[in-house]
């Protein structure tokens, strides 16, 4: 009788041990993503680089030695329109745009500058304005939901 009880207990213990191993394995599989998170650089690559950082970097091909204070320096989600003061002692504004996901964009201020934007700026465009006093309207055309940085420097 004792041997029967031990066998039953042994069976129960084996079954319990087997279930415990299965549960532990299942939990380990669920935790696997926590133990080995996605490559953190993938999250970093989706973040936008502020164009002002690039134009102030002397090692950048888009560095602006004579850059004055920005007349437009905004981050947001497009499309959008900005109203800015007309810069004194300037005849145009040089625009820089970065966006994610990568997408074509268009900046309009009377005339326009268009191109493809990505996580970092890869070009710039200068749009002249007339000498009249008053505010300027700047339209940034990107699809709804596209995150952007726009920088405007007086020239």
**What b/e sequence results for 61-71 when a residue is b if at least 16 CB atoms lie within 10 Å of its CB, and e otherwise?**
eeebeeeeebb
Query: Which residues make beta-bridge pairs with 100?
Result: 147
Closest CA to 95 of 105, 85, 103: 105
Tell me the pLDDT tens digit for each residue of 97-139.
999 999 999 999 999 999 999 999 999 999 999 888 789 999 9
43-154 adopts what CATH topology?
A: Jelly Rolls (2.60.120)
DSSP 87: P
pTM of the model: 0.69
Q: Is the pLDDT of residue 10 over 90?
A: no
Give residue limits of the domains in the chain. Answer: 2-37, 43-154
Count CB-CB contacts under 10 A for residue 93: 26
- Per-residue pLDDT of 78-100, as tens digits, reads 999 999 999 988 999 999 999 99
Give the pLDDT of residue 46.
54
Which range, of 24-28, 64-68, 71-75, averages the lowest pLDDT? 24-28
């Amino acid at each position: 009788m004792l041997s029967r009880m031990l066998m039953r207990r042994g069976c129960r213990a084996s079954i319990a041990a087997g279930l415990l191993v299965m549960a532990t394995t299942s939990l380990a599989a669920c935790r696997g993503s926590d133990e080995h998170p996605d490559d953190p650089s993938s999250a970093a690559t989706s973040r936008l680089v502020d164009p002002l950082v690039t134009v102030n970097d002397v090692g950048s091909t888009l560095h602006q030695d004579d850059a004055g204070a920005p007349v437009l320096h905004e981050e947001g989600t497009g499309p959008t329109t900005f109203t800015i003061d007309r810069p004194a002692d300037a005849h145009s504004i040089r625009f820089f745009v970065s966006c994610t996901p990568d997408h074509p964009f268009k900046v309009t201020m009377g005339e326009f500058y268009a191109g493809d934007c990505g996580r970092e700026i890869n070009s710039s465009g200068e749009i002249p304005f007339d000498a009249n006093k008053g505010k300027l309207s700047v339209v940034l055309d990107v699809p709804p939901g596209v995150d952007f940085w726009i920088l405007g420097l007086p020239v």
